[in-house]
Amino acid sequence: MGYELTEFEKEMEQNLLEMKDKLQAKLSKSDNDFRNLVGSTGPGDSVDVASDDLASKKMEAIGKIDAGHLNAINQALVRIRNGKYGVCAMCGKKIPEDRLRAIPYALLCMPCKRKSEHR
């Protein structure tokens, strides 16, 4: 018999799946927008080319951030299924539900998060 999810874990799993769907749709749209931008780059003045280059770099950076969030969401979903969701990866203590409601893919409790940011 596998791990049985608590009501809180079921709620968080649903939230994470919704976040994942929205993020995947956003990434897909960004990918299409990027392809359109690259495809529309033709002969133009240097201001147009520079503007297009800046826009493509911005879209690429946003895509990397979103891909990182998607990865964190997927990892949280795995932790839910493995019965390790809500356990701090540094100290092993339980992450408060309030923190998980705010950031459902959080890996660290707040004290450990602060420590990791000061390194």
CATH number, domain at 47?
Answer: 1.20.120.910
Q: How confident is the model at residue 26 (pLDDT cuts 50, 70, 90)?
A: confident
Q: What is the pTM of this model?
A: 0.73
Average pLDDT, the chain: 84
Residue 87 region by backbone torsions, left for phi larger than 0, else alpha for psi between -120 and 50, else beta: beta
Residue 5: domain span = 1-85
Other beta carbons less than 10 A from residue 61's beta carbon: 10
Q: Residue 116: pLDDT above 60?
A: yes
| Whether 80 and 115 share a structural domain | no
More confident residue, 13 or 30: 13
| Whether 80 and 97 share a structural domain | no
Number of structural domains the chain divides into: 2
